[in-house]
Structure 1
Amino acid sequence: MGEGMKNPRENLLLSGIICIVFGAFFFFGGLISMGAIISVSGIILFIWGMTLRSDLSMTPAQIRDWTPSLETLEEAGKIMYRVDTTLDEPKRTSILCGVCAHLSWVDGPKPKAWSCQNCSQILWEEE
């Protein structure tokens, strides 16, 4: 694999599927030899991709230390905010106020209601 290539497993799997589909189109469209070559190449790419390990996993330290980018969110006719909750334990939720770009952290899932601790703007209230 090339030095700058990221996610080689996913790239090979996607390329293999695309080649198989295009090869089938060519094959059933009357270009039998071209379709067969592209389809066989797609099968080879797909098998090669299945033999590689995925590099998409994150370490627990990377998950724990992740923070969203601190930026103001553009107005869209209402108050904007961003909520991110980790899927893995320990569950933590980050809340980014779009008005002042203040980031708050809460242990556990998204709260039922929230107002920004910096600008006192009510971001949401669930009924």
Structure 2
Amino acid sequence: MGNLLGVIELAGIPESASVAREFVRQKLGAGHPALDDVTLLVSEAVTNSVVHSDSRNGGKVRLAIADCHDLIHVDVVDAGGDTVPHVRGDLYAEGGRGLMLVETLSHRWDVYEDAGGRTLWFQVRYTRPLK
């Protein structure tokens, strides 16, 4: 179990990535040890949703973030689409490195689809500072 920090519904437009980053900064706070990694991965996941899913062009993307004591759990839910998100192995391609970053920086991640759409989730481990 953990503590749900917040849920936000975003428009399926590229500008929503910056809104999502600010949401993460507000919910985790400036001193959180996982802030940089979670902010980067949320930005990549939301960007993937608004560019590649059926949520693009003004649909909806939902972002949820929870603190589970030694990890941050994030869900990015979109309308799904014709293709399944996957890691591309080309480091020199102009795009397509978002999920490579998710795979590298997260503790665990996956994608699943159901009647409600597609969810990309990931978890980022962190160590709480001693008080």
TM-score by length of 1: 0.25
Larger radius of gyration: 1
The answer to which structure has the higher strand fraction is: 2
The answer to which structure has the higher helix fraction is: 1
TM-score by length of 2: 0.24
